[in-house]
Each structure stands twice: as structure tokens, then as C-alpha cells.
Amino acid sequence: MNMSVYNPAFTGTNGTFISFNSRSQWTGIVDAPRTNYLIYNLPQKERVSLGFSLQNDRVFIENKTHIIIDYNYQLQITKDKFLYLGLKGGGFYNAIDTNRLQRLYLTSNPALAAVKSYFTPILGLGIQFKTPNYFIGVGVPSLFDNKRFQDNAVWETSATDMAYLYFSGGSTFQLKNNFSLSPVFIYRAVPNSPNLLFGTIAVDYKEQFSIGAGYANNNNIAFFVSSKNFKGIEWGYGYEFTNRKDGTAIQAGTHELFIRFNINISSEKEIEKLQEQL
């Protein structure tokens, strides 16, 4: 629903809206990952779309806040085919509270001297090709690898925030009786970590109600439902769980909620009706 988080070339391509997402991973486990983000996409002007996003990620002793501006430029290839070029800029601050760590000894651990809160700038880019029936895109939310902690005379750290690469695509197939089928996939690559391939497929009815499922190559399975009312308000809920059988895998489920307020939805429908009459 919010592909601009990974690829700025999606900014504004779904119209003007304000959306809020909340994801609670591994329900019931203390200090498990929690993600919340707010996205605002402005109306397109002179082929340019701007978007603002505020994202917060919490896990264990880390509390990371992103502030991002997305810029997207539209190039018209043919009447109904477009190429989008996106830039992402901003930064994040990672607040790390080492005082919450449980200690085995009363004496302080000198290795923690290098672990401090830090700020990192973000510069990303993306590209998307879109037609009425399908889209493909490649995005890098942040181009640079950044060392997380400062070395000192005693300790040298190796922890790094790595650059991620996202490749995504999807299509829409019209079925009978106002139904349509929408498969989407996302491929994520990051150095020194297993690549992730995640796909979903949704059945839509009159573009007002959608239900679907997803599967990832890490054996995670998801189910989701979403709906849009006549006032342009969308909402959705998703549940994800793991299908791994090994005893070390976390089996707790993940919940995600979103709500979106589409802006000027009535005027857009009026324009569509006029185009149909012409």
C-alpha cells in the first residue's frame, strides 16, 4: 500500500493521501520490533510529486526515527505509459539505551563505550515504469553504508547500516462480474544477509474491497483484507506468521493495520465521469 517507503519513484502515483501504518511483530514477546509510519503525498504539479514521511522503528534497546522527503518526476512515454524518477532525502536518529541491558556483573563493560546514539543522513533513489495493467520498479532507500558506532583507542567496531536494494513489480487482471486479480512481488537484497522474496495476490471487488494472501522465501505466510468507502477512506489489516519447523524459530504472529485518507477523491471521480462522457 505504501511502496514509496522503499522506492521514491512510487510517490504520488496513487494520488494525494495521508496514511498511517502500524506493525507489531512477534506479538507477546517483550521488546519485539514495532514500526509506525505516517505518509503524506501532495498533489502532482508540473509532473512533480512530493511526499513526506515520518517513521519510527523500535526493537529491544533501539529507537530509530526517520524523517524523509520524497521527490518524484514523471516522464510520459506514450499516452498511458509513464516512467518515474525518484529521489529520497532526509535522515534518521537511532536512540540506543544501553542502561536497559541486563548486567551479569556490577562493573561496567568497556565494550559498550562505543555503543552510543547516532544520526545518519539518507540519500536514496528509485525508478518505476507504469502502465494501466502493470508496473516494475527498482529502489534503493539509502545509497550508503554507514558505520554505526565510533571506534576508540581500545575498541574497533564492525556494526554497519547497509544499503538495501528493492526490486518490485505487479499487475492487474480484470475478471468477470467486477472482480480483478492483483499479484505483486518484492525482492530485497542486502549484503551479508539472505535475500528476501515476498509475493502477494489479492482479489478485488469493484475496487472497493480486497482480500488476499502472501508468502515469503523465509517461510512467512500472510493474510490481509482492505476496504475503501465512498468518502475515500481506506483501511486494512494484515496478519503474518512463520511456517518454519525448527525449534529456534519465533512462532509468534505479526499484526499490521493501516488507514488512508484520500484527498480530493470526489473531484477525481468527477473528472473520470467527464472523460467517459467525452
Q: What is the pLDDT of residue 264?
A: 72
Interior CA angle at 267 toward 264 and 45, to 5°? 65
How far is the C-alpha of 133 from the C-alpha of 251, rounded, in Å? 37
Q: What is the pLDDT of residue 269?
A: 52
DSSP letter for each residue of 165-205: EEEEEEE-EE-STTEEEEEEEEEEE-TTS--EEEEEEEEEE
Q: What is the pTM of this model?
A: 0.85
123 and 93 in contact (C-beta within 8 Å)?
no
Q: Is 247 left (phi over 0), alpha (psi -120 to 50) or beta?
A: alpha
Give the DSSP H/E element, type plus range, for residue 275: helix 265-277
Domains of the chain: 3-102+114-149+159-277 (2.40.160.40)
Q: How far is CA 77 from CA 80, 108, 129, in A?
A: 8, 62, 9
Main-chain dihedrals φ then ψ at residue 269, nearest 5 degrees: -65, -35
| Res 113 pLDDT > 90 | no
pLDDT tens across 175-185, in order?
Answer: 988 999 999 99
DSSP character at residue 45: B
Query: 231 or 168, which is more confident?
Result: 168
User: By mean pLDDT, which of 59-63, 94-98, 265-269 is the weakest?
Assistant: 265-269
158 and 149 in contact (C-beta within 8 Å)?
no
Residue tagged 506514450 (cell numbers): 78
Looking at beta carbons, which pairs linking 103-110 to residues 24 or more positions away fall under 8 Å? 110/154, 110/155
Query: 28 or 245, which is more confident?
Result: 28
DSSP letter for each residue of 76-133: E-SSS-EEEEEEEEEEEEEEE-GGGSPPSSSS--GGGGG---EEEEEEEEEEEEE-SS
Mean confidence (pLDDT) of the chain: 88
Mean pLDDT of 123-133: 95
